[in-house]
Amino acid sequence: MPRHGVLLAGAVFGLAVIAPLHADAQDWTRREFPLAPPNSNDNFVAPYFDGFHQNTDGTYTMSFGFMNRNDSELIEIPLGADNFIEPAEFDGDQPTSFPTVRYSGFGGPRERGTFGVVVPADFEGDVWWTLTTDGYTTRVPGRLESPGRLIKGAYELGTSPMARGSLRPIIRFTEGAPDSYGIVGVQHPDQFTTAVGEPIEVQFWALDRGERELGYVNMTLWKHQGPVPGLIAFESLVEAPPARQGRSARGGGAAAVGRAGRGGRRGGPGPVAIGRSVRIPTEGAAANIGHFKATFDTPGDYVIRIRIDSFSNRDSAPGNQCCWSNGYVRVRVNE
């Protein structure tokens, strides 16, 4: 059966919406009017191409994210026919778990830069990410060239310091390892193995690298990949930062209370929800150390994404495409 496509173009992304094969399973408003306000639930998740930047070796990193159009309903799509990237050589690092998020300002309901695809310096063509939610397919091309009459370089992301000097922070899994930062980030050198109900414990180092007075960064934990409907219970082991003198810290930065991805810059050990931020101290014995436990309720292979950000600085926010870095932890959970 032929598919009929609708193209939505934005300033820094292109999103192609393809009509579903099984229309009777879909809400008619989203089939007939893709730009209509979304319903509060039973909506789809859309992939987004955030842009690209050139690496020091001449290769390019394409940044991808997503938008879950629901108010609160989690969408999970396993890798495979409903969640894949083409060309196939770039397939496999994309998320399978898509929570709702809501950032203030330009951030909105999109989670940006959840993973990156590195392409060669001479790469030509597009990198397509396709997602199908209950038979409704959306796909987006990642590309280095601006199509049509868009300004050349419209997709290019900046890597220079922001207005007040913020840059993507450093994350590393061993104390003496080289600094890693950016969307592609760094993967933990080991795969953890555990059993259902038995927690793993992860420690890492995270530091600000802005060209200004250095400050603190925040840790946010996400289920990046894993079996459906496997849940991860996170417990922060980060020590509470010392109390600040004078005026209170600027609360929340680019985030605020509410769904995943919003606020809750909390201190001290304790349970922490997916997408909620924890401030990492910069002083004392636990300075610049991120530390957490993760417990799983379903066997299978998981990937945890650690997002380290400096969103509490006024020139750093998700909608500005700055400033965060990713770390990934692979976990095999047995029964």
Q: What is the pLDDT of residue 264?
A: 47
Q: What is the pLDDT of residue 76?
A: 98
DSSP state of 213: S
- What is the residue-averaged pLDDT of the chain? 84
Of residues 6 and 290, more confidence is placed in: 290
Task: For 80-134, write each residue's pLDDT tens digit.
Answer: 999 999 999 999 999 999 999 998 878 889 999 999 999 999 999 999 999 999 9
Q: pLDDT-based confidence at 36, cuts 50/70/90?
A: confident
pLDDT value at 265 more than 80: no
Q: What is the mean pLDDT of residues 54-65?
A: 96
Kindly calculate the radius of gyration of the chain based on its CA atoms and give it in whole angstroms.
20
Distance separating alpha carbons of residues 269 and 119, to the nearest angstrom:
40
Q: What is the pLDDT of residue 314?
A: 85
Q: How many other C-beta atoms are found inside a 10 Å radius of the C-beta of residue 124?
A: 9
| Residue ranges of domains in the chain, CATH in brackets | 5-142 (no CATH), 170-334 (2.60.40.2410)
Residue pair 77/125 in contact by the 8 Å Cβ criterion: no
Cis peptide upstream of residue 38 (ω within 30 degrees of 0): no
pLDDT value at 5 more than 90: no
Distance separating alpha carbons of residues 209 and 214, to the nearest angstrom:
7
Q: What is the pLDDT of residue 29?
A: 54
Task: For 154-177, write each residue's pLDDT tens digit.
Answer: 788 989 999 999 999 999 999 889
Q: What is the pLDDT of residue 240?
A: 79
Distance separating alpha carbons of residues 49 and 173, to the nearest angstrom:
28
pLDDT value at 24 more than 50: no
Q: How many other C-beta atoms are found inside a 10 Å radius of the C-beta of residue 123?
A: 17
Task: Give one DSSP letter per residue of 24-78, joined into a string.
Answer: GGS-HHHHH-TTSPPPSSS--EEEEEEEEEE-TTS-EEEEEEEEE-SSS--EE--
pLDDT value at 254 more than 90: no
Name the phi and psi angles at 67, rounded to 5: -135, 115
Look at residues 67, 93, 124, 82 and name the one whose alpha carbon lies nearest to residue 303. Answer: 93
Tell me the HSE value of 147 on the side-chain side, using a 13 A CA sphere: 14
Q: pTM for the full model?
A: 0.85
Name the phi and psi angles at 23, rounded to 5: -65, -30
Distance separating alpha carbons of residues 50 and 61, to the nearest angstrom:
11
Task: For 122-160, write each residue's pLDDT tens digit.
Answer: 999 999 999 999 999 999 999 998 666 556 667 889 899
What's the N-to-C CA distance of the chain in angstroms?
Answer: 42
Q: Which residues pair with 156 in a beta bridge?
A: 52
Q: What is the pLDDT of residue 19?
A: 41
Cis peptide upstream of residue 322 (ω within 30 degrees of 0): no
DSSP state of 216: -
Of 223-237, 256-270, 300-314, the poorest mean pLDDT is in: 256-270
Distance separating alpha carbons of residues 180 and 161, to the nearest angstrom:
16
